[in-house]
Amino acid sequence: MQVAAETVVHLQSVHKRFGALHVLRGVSFSVTKGQVVAIIGKSGSGKSTALRCINRLESVDEGQIRVCGHQVHDAGLDKRALRRDVGIVFQSYNLFPHLTVLQNITLGPTSVKRMPAAQARELALDVLARVGLADKAGSYPEQLSGGQQQRVAIARSLAMQPQVMLFDEVTSSLDPELTGEVLKVMEKLAAEGMTMILVTHEMAFARNVADQVIFMHQGQVWEQGDPEILANPSTPELRQFVGNGL
pLDDT per residue as tens digits for the range 76-101: 999 888 988 999 998 888 899 999 99
Q: Does 1 map to a domain?
A: no
Give the domain range for residue 58.
7-245
CA distance 186 to 171: 11
Percent of residues, the chain, with pLDDT higher than 70: 97
Q: Does 2 map to a domain?
A: no
pLDDT reading at 210 higher than 50: yes
CA distance 211 to 102: 33
Q: Does 232 map to a domain?
A: yes
CA distance 133 to 144: 10
Model's pTM, two decimal places?
A: 0.91
Q: Does 145 map to a domain?
A: yes
Write down the pLDDT at residue 2. Answer: 42
CB environment 59-77: b (16+ within 10 A), e (fewer): ebeebebbbbebebbeeeb
CA distance 107 to 153: 12
Q: What is the count of structural domains for the chain?
A: 1
Q: Does 85 map to a domain?
A: yes
Q: Does 150 map to a domain?
A: yes
Q: Does 127 map to a domain?
A: yes
Write down the pLDDT at residue 112. Answer: 81
Task: Indicate the pLDDT class of residue 4, thresholds 50, 70 and 90.
Answer: low
Write down the pLDDT at residue 26. Answer: 96
| 59 alpha-carbon distance from chain centroid | 17
